[in-house]
Amino acid sequence: MKSKGYKPTCKCNSGFTGGIVLDPFFGAGTTGLVALKQNKKFIGIELNESYISIAKKRLEPYLTQSKIDRFIKE
């Protein structure tokens, strides 16, 4: 398997795990929230529309901030 070249952004030597997090029972989006805070991507699957609405409201500020940060860096 070919490496994507992920590297840590700090010098703490705590290790680094890049990639995409999959949560097949996404619920209120806690896994997605933690993934975003760790600068990871995520895929969340949820069938209950009530939980989808909750997850969208919870994640929206972090997703918006991420887009702003990317725009500023470019």
CA atoms within 13 A on the CB side of 63: 10
Q: Which pLDDT does position 43 carry in this prediction?
A: 96
| 55-71 as b/e: b if 16+ CB within 10 A | beeebeeeeeeeeeeee
Q: For the segment 16-56, what is each residue's pLDDT rounded down to a tens digit?
A: 667 899 999 999 999 999 998 888 899 999 999 999 999 99
Is the model more confident about 69 or about 34?
A: 34
Domains of the chain by residue range: 21-73
Q: What's 12's DSSP letter? A: S
Q: Please report, for residues 1, 51, 56, the alpha-carbon distance to residue 38 in angstroms, rounded to integers and kept in the order given.
A: 23, 22, 18
Burial of 41 (0-12, 13-18, 19+ CB in 10 A): exposed
